[in-house]
Amino acid sequence: MSEMTLSDLPPHARLLLALAKLRLTADEVTEVRELASDGNLSWPAFLDAAAWHKMLPLVGRHVHRYRLDRKLGEQGGFPYPWVFTTAYLGNRVRNQALADEFAQVFDALTAAGLRFAVRKGFSLGEGEYHDPALRRIADLDVLLSRDDAPRAHEALVNLGYVQGRLAADGDRIEPYNRQTQAFWRMNLSNQLPYRKTASRPDISDFNVDICHDIFQQKWNISADAATLLARAVPVTLCGTDSWQPADDDRMLDLCAHLYKEATSLHFIEDKQDLQLSKFLDLALVAEQTAPEAWETFCKRVGEYGAESVAYYSLHFTAQLFPTAIPAQVLEALRPADLSYLEEYGSLDGQTACWEQPFLARLFDPARHTSGAKSNVPLA
């Protein structure tokens, strides 16, 4: 497979990467303007990529904050700037509605005497992003001991949640069939999603995803919720008391999540396997990780035998954000055999190798899986 560098990417991809920062320096604003003035840039391709990679809200704030909609000399501004700024403002309203709902979930779990921790989502949005409007949040990911699942189920049902999927009419939740329930129970580390209708134009349904182990059963390693919850730290999220994993556990959780979705046929088929936003999540957390915390993280990875999982996510994050991951960390975690970096489908029992290098497939919505199909039932 031929090597590829960031400079080999098409103009719209290079522009999106240049904007994948919380703040832009004066030199970076100049670079963005130069990329935006490239005569070969396809704005439709940029808009599609920004939406697909869940970067529209961040782009919108940059357009407003750095006046990228305005001309500067011979350089034109971003076309249709309202598309980007409205995405940012709309995401603020949407995430506030999610926060209001999920605060009730936190309070209900606490009232039931349950220990839980929030993964990703608002933990990142109100933490590393310092602005809940910047990150598009799809659902609430909660780490919970498997022994506490029955009481959590009762608490969620009392709030109107059902384990099921949104019906085609969008007005109700259809329970999953027995086959799907059995498959998830035997093969996956997550409960089937809990949902309830939202009846909003910006939110079809509220979704709570309960996880009992940050690793997948087929990886033959385990970091169960009970162990991680014993190290969890208290935080205030969505305006109420909550918990999140300790820093080293949180980093490993992000690595495991990225690795799972990047290599699973289910997410590949939905084109959610490789999204720039996931790598940015990991880069932002990594950039705020102190040297002693990296030592703890590497020790934890070794204890779990999760070197391949952690290295995969940190390796590709470093390709996109070269200064985010310390070189000594990558060296310490580097497995002897790196051929697995180009594999996908192992969770589905259909291991295959990509024909494109990472950077090419990251921005190629037409990438395919040679006819392989996910076996995860969702009915």
Q: What is the CATH number of the domain that holds 125?
A: 3.30.460
**90 within some domain:** no
| Tokens found for residue 64 | 């407003």
- Structure confidence by residue, pLDDT tens digits, 150-169: 999 999 999 999 999 998 88
Q: Can you tell me which residue has the tokens 């934890």?
A: 300
pLDDT score of 12 more than 90:
yes
Q: Characterise 54 by phi-psi region: left (phi > 0), alpha (psi -120 to 50), beta (else).
A: left
DSSP state of 239: T
Is residue 87, in this structure, part of any structural domain at all? no
Structural domain containing residue 70? 1-79
Give domain status of residue 85, yes or no.
no
pLDDT of amino acid 370: 58
Picking from 193, 321, 347, the residue whose alpha carbon sits closest to that of residue 265 is 347
Instruction: Let me know if residue 188 belongs to a domain.
Output: yes
Q: What is the pLDDT of the chain when averaged over all its residues? A: 92
DSSP state of 72: B
Amino acid found at 285: V
What is the predicted pLDDT for the residue at 180? 82
Q: pLDDT by residue (tens digit) across 186-225?
A: 777 788 899 999 989 999 999 999 999 999 988 999 999 9
The structural domain count of the chain equals 3
102: left (phi over 0), alpha (psi -120 to 50) or beta: alpha
Same domain, 226 and 262: no
Contact indicator for 164, 173 with CB cutoff of 8 Å: yes
Q: How confident is the model over 106-149, as pLDDT tens digits?
A: 999 999 999 999 999 999 999 999 998 999 999 999 999 999 99
Same domain (yes/no): 36, 144:
no
- pLDDT-based confidence at 242, cuts 50/70/90? very high
- Per-residue pLDDT, 347: 82
| Residue that terminates a domain, selected from 245, 260, 282 | 245
- Please tell me the distance from the alpha carbon of residue 357 to that of residue 327, in angstroms, as a whole number: 22
Give the range among 185-194, 214-223, 232-241, 274-283 with minimum mean pLDDT: 185-194
Give pLDDT, residue 186.
Answer: 73
133 and 200 co-located in one domain: yes
Q: What is the pLDDT of residue 74?
A: 79
Residues 339 and 291 in one domain: yes
86 in a structural domain: no
Structural domain contains residue 183: yes
**Do 234 and 251 belong together in one domain?**
no
Of residues 367, 271, 316, the one with CA closest to residue 52: 271
Instruction: Count CB atoms within 10 A of the CB of residue 175.
Output: 12
pLDDT at res. 289: 92
Q: State residue 368's pLDDT score.
A: 64
Report residue 348's pLDDT band, with 50, 70 and 90 as the boundaries: confident
Let me know whether 235 and 251 are in one domain.
Answer: no
Q: What percent of the chain lies above the pLDDT cut of 70?
A: 97
Residue 110 falls within a domain, yes or no?
yes
Q: Are 132 and 266 within 8 A, CB to CB? A: no
pLDDT in tens, 37-49: 999 999 999 999 9
Residues 377 and 290 in one domain: yes
121 and 220 together in one domain: yes
- CB neighbour class for 236 (10 Å; exposed up to 12, middle 13-18, buried from 19): exposed
E strands within the chain?
A: 116-119, 140-144, 162-166, 173-175, 194-197, 205-211, 233-237, 240-244, 343-344, 352-353
Last residue of a domain, one of 192, 227, 245: 245
- pLDDT band at residue 372 under the 50/70/90 scheme: low
Q: What is the mean pLDDT of residues 236-248?
A: 95
Domain limit, last residue, from 216, 245, 274? 245
Q: Decide if pLDDT at 1 tops 60.
A: no
**150 in the same domain as 38:** no
Mean pLDDT, rounded, for 19-47: 96
Same domain, 46 and 130: no
Asked whether residue 208 is domain-assigned, the answer is: yes
Residues 238 and 214 in one domain: yes
- Based on the domain organization, do 180 and 65 belong to the same domain? no
| Mean pLDDT (whole number) for 94-100 | 97
Question: What is the predicted pLDDT for the residue at 187?
Answer: 74
